[in-house]
Structure 1
């Protein structure tokens, strides 16, 4: 059992329950010092980072616990027990993007001196596993629809507006919108899901167009978005999730996702996003990265057992997916005679995409 709420730990210790099997994740153990110093048997207890007074750490190790120390050399908390927020990743933005935890984490992840450093590799792996665990808890039981699309759609463009309207319609229909968490169509879909109504969404898109791209100034792009975000919502409940990566340093996270599961490993991030799109995936026009994600999902659907209930894969814009990038014909060939062929849909616009999802994978009422 994992505990990352200090109140839960306090109740557990007060009840004198056994500690074997507990994982204390990113907790400040200082308030529980007396209770923990009274523990005589701690075999099977694992402490993952957090604040551990020296006397408590020494005592728990002597009693049989495993205590992982904090890692102050990492720019982020590798044992975190919750998803990120945009405010956390962009803290210090007033001093420029390079001063933010997001930028520092990217520089650390690409530091050539640490490429073969086993300790740094281990810390990044622990971080990504902690984020996966937090993501599982955040999305548990929710009807998640993945929205894929390129990062190059400028704010105010037709593609950006379409993705924003898609996110808004999906959230309004009861789905949770999950994207790659970056700019372009990803930002737009998260924005649409966060908007309380269409009037505020349209106003947000109009205002954001003043800084159409994160290039060349990430700080200006993010600063305007943070200002607009406060006027967009609030959306009720959990409507929007972003799953970005530091692997692509040129893709800063957008600020509109309610929860941000940011990874060092792009491979884990991509698989995690697709695996959690339990209610389907909608693919907006994109380039190489989007095509890769389509076929990564197609592989899952191709090899699924006949008894598996497959969620729909919906490609928006026949011109793009049938002719400009002929992805749809290849999916049709792969899906012939298999369940994959029954769940791939090519539609003309985002409204038709939502209609397909509502018909084939409706959210629970």
Structure 2
């Protein structure tokens, strides 16, 4: 086996932590490939390059939020209309969280997210939006005063958890359920320090809670103790009090 320049290529090649042998050995050196201005550009779509993109997203997200202070992540549907009672609850919730000493983190989109950001912004607090690149662009709502856009859901999820002291979950769809069950799993498995999770809107969430108790737990897929991982509330002041009590603010 020889390189394009005719030099022999070794049977074993070490490129940092990567070991290549036989037909996996690459011709040339890493520096050579870096400095060569010619050649194919497909490398920008390879998995190693994506790792660098992922790393950069973590760096940008952590850098932007490192000095945020105590915060609560608020989840809810992007489809919540502005004239809905859930939107009004989101505004009041965002305002009350700021008055209790928290920054408010949302997904930065419209609907319930916009409502919580609006309440936080109008109360003079830090209103954070963690956006995500989607085929159907939503854009950052106008009430975000600190925003970060992500390509990767899992990087965004890490920031939701890392910089929050608790979660308040307004009625929402699949994305909201995704965030909710990830948070519950992290708390249940003790991958994170215990933090409060409040489901806001008992009429909306009661069917899910019934299913957890009557099916999931009844069939031995979870324990009754797991129902203690979250609270149900219809009252903004109570929801904020539950978060404040558990995080010690």
What is the TM-score normalised by the length of structure 2? 0.72
Residue 76 of structure 1: aligned partner: none
Aligned to 1:262: 149
Name the structure 2 match of 1:139: 65
Choose the corresponding residue for 2:205, options 300, 321, 339: 321
Q: Could you tell me whether the CA contact under 8 Å between 1:335 and 1:342 is conserved in 2?
A: no
In structure 2, the CA distance between the partners of 1:254 and 1:342, relative to structure 1 (3 Å rule), is: same
Distance in structure 2 (CA, Å) of the matches to 1:194 and 1:276 = 18
CA distance in 1, matches of 2:183, 2:223: 13
Say yes or no: does 1:312 pair with 2:196: yes
Q: Which residue of 2 is the match for residue 357 of structure 1?
A: 243
For residues 32-181 of structure 1, the aligned pairs below 5 Å read 117-120=42-45, 126-140=52-66, 142-181=69-108
Q: CA deviation at 1:254?
A: 1.1
Higher relative contact order (CA 8 A, sep 6+): 2
Contact kept? 2:200, 2:233, Cα under 8 Å: yes
Give the Cα–Cα distance (whole angstroms) in 1 for the partners of residues 154 and 193 of structure 2. 25
Distance between the aligned counterparts of 1:271 and 1:133, measured in 2? Answer: 12
2:147, 2:183 → 1: CA distance? Answer: 21
Counterpart contact for 1:131–1:261, Cα < 8 Å: no
Deviation at 1:180, TM superposition (A): 0.8
Name structure 2 gaps, 5 residues minimum: 1-30, 36-40
Give the structure with the larger strand fraction. Answer: 2
Give me the whole-angstrom Cα distance separating, in 2, the residues matched to 1:294 and 1:160: 19
Cα offset, 1:270, TM superposition: 2.4
**Cα deviation code 1:221-272 (max 9, x no counterpart):** xxxxxxxxxxxxxx25xx1211110135342221222211111112322233
Structure 1 runs of 4+ with >6 Å offset: none
Assess, with a 3 A threshold, how the Cα gap between structure 1 residues 273 and 265 changes in structure 2: closer, same or farther: same
User: Counterparts of 1:227-238 in structure 2 under 5 Å?
Assistant: 235=124
1:281 to 151, 164, 167: 167
In the alignment, is the contact (CA less than 8 A) between 2:114 and 2:143 conserved in 1? yes
Aligned to 2:130: 243
Aligned to 1:336: 224
- Report the alpha carbon displacement of residue 186 of structure 1 after superposing the two structures with TM: 0.6
Q: Which secondary structure state, in structure 1, belongs to the residue aligned with residue 80 of structure 2?
A: coil
> TM-score, normalising length from structure 1?
0.50
In 2, are the aligned partners of 1:245 and 1:266 still within 8 Å (CA)?
yes
Q: Distance in 2 between matches of 1:148 and 1:300?
A: 16
Aligned to 1:241, the other structure's residue is in SS state: strand
Query: Per the alignment, in what secondary structure is the counterpart of residue 261 of structure 1?
Result: strand
Q: Is the 8 A contact 2:57 2:155 kept in 1?
A: no
Q: In structure 2, what is the equivalent of residue 58 of structure 1?
A: none
How far is the alpha carbon of 1:328 from its aligned partner? 6.3
- Is the radius of gyration larger for structure 1 or structure 2? 2
Q: Are 1:317 and 1:347, in contact at CA under 8 Å, matched by a contact in 2?
A: yes
- Rounded to whole Å, the distance in 1 between the matches of 2:209 and 2:235 is 17
- Match in the other structure for 1:232: none
Q: Contact 2:95–2:119 (CA<8 Å) still a contact in 1?
A: yes
Contact 2:198 2:231 in 1 (8 A): yes
Structure 1 residues 124 and 249, CA gap change in structure 2 (3 angstroms): farther
Q: How many Å separate the matches in 2 of 1:350 and 1:253?
A: 25
